[in-house]
Amino acid sequence: MSVYGENEDQGKYWNEKPGRSWVLHDHEMNNRFQNISDILFASLDAPNLSNVLDIGCGAGATTLRMAKSLSGRGTVTGIDISDALLGLAREKASAVENVTFTWADAQSYQFEPAGFDGAFSRFGVMFFADPVKAFANLRAALVPRSKLVFVCWAPLQDNPFFLEPMEVVSRHTNAPVIAPGTAPGPMAFGNRDYLSDILQRAGYQATEIVTRQTTLDTRQSPQEDAALMMKIGAGARMLFEAEPSKAQVHSVQEDFVRLSAAKRSGGITRYPATIHVVTATA
């Protein structure tokens, strides 16, 4: 089995061009996700944790934030399938003692049983080929009755940050906007009933899903923001798959600039966003 375990497609995706784009734009993506990190950390009982797992930790922003909370009394492990993103995470954590990173597929990695007293994720758990198996594997890594807390995206129609760039791409390439359904990907857990059922089947004793509205904020200019949208996110992915002409690429980028400018006020562009904050008891 490759290092991507049972998640070969996502392993390739996050190690190849898209993953490398995330490495290049890590700082800006973290700015956009700042409000969401604050919501996630407010839901975590960090003062009472000592050995914590960050699932799909990417370039480690949330892992490092947890390391700071645990400083002097606990450690955090970030697991991710992307060596590219972990490379940056390790660089950022080089002077931090209470962090380790593991390059592995969280669905199939053999964790030490009941080794963690908490686990969390910012958008790192929606990509599993077999989510029931993955969440069961993660549950076995948790002390019984400890908590898994994560944030994931609510449905596409509640997230203009995803939907509007897709509509722009559709307008210019004629590619249809296809609802993502439950296939592995950012929107896989939009449906609360589907998500709740997965966690129940994975053996969690109780699950609470709270849907929250927030914003993704950036101080980047509309031109810079549009350039990022061309590289990361649902619009970028759809554009790549549409194999556009140069003229289409140009028109899409111009409309991304307009999209961003329309949401700008007082030097900040704010995209409304809706997330689920999920707490499950192992």
Binding site for ligand SAM (CB under 6 A): 7, 10, 14, 33, 56-58, 61-62, 79-82, 85, 105-107, 122-124, 127-128
- Angular region, 203: left φ>0, alpha ψ -120 to 50, beta rest: left
85/275 with CB nearer ligand SAM = 85
CB of 263 to ligand SAM, least distance (A): 21
CB of 46 to ligand SAM, least distance (A): 17
116/173 with CB nearer ligand SAM = 116
CB of 105 to ligand SAM, least distance (A): 4
120/256 with CB nearer ligand SAM = 120
Three-state secondary structure string covering the chain: CCCCCCCHHHHHHHHCHHHHHHHHCHHHHHHHCHHHHHHHHHHCCHHHCCEEEEECCCCCHHHHHHHHHHCCCCEEEEEECCHHHHHHHHHHCCCCCCEEEEECCCCCCCCCCCCEEEEEEECCCCCCCCHHHHHHHHHHCEEEEEEEEEEEECCHHHCHHHHHHHHHHHHHHCCCCCCCCCCCCCCCCCCHHHHHHHHHHCCCCEEEEEEEEEEEEECCCHHHHHHHHCCCCHHHHHHHHCCCCHHHHHHHHHHHHHHHHHCEECCEEEEEEEEEEEEEEC
189/222 with CB nearer ligand SAM = 189
CB of 220 to ligand SAM, least distance (A): 17
103/227 with CB nearer ligand SAM = 103
CB of 55 to ligand SAM, least distance (A): 7
7/98 with CB nearer ligand SAM = 7
118/124 with CB nearer ligand SAM = 124
10/218 with CB nearer ligand SAM = 10
Alpha-carbon distance of 142 to 89, in angstroms, equals 23
CB of 58 to ligand SAM, least distance (A): 3
Rg, C-alpha atoms of the chain: 19
CA atoms within 13 A on the CB side of 228: 23
CB of 23 to ligand SAM, least distance (A): 10
Alpha-carbon distance of 255 to 105, in angstroms, equals 37
CB of 106 to ligand SAM, least distance (A): 4
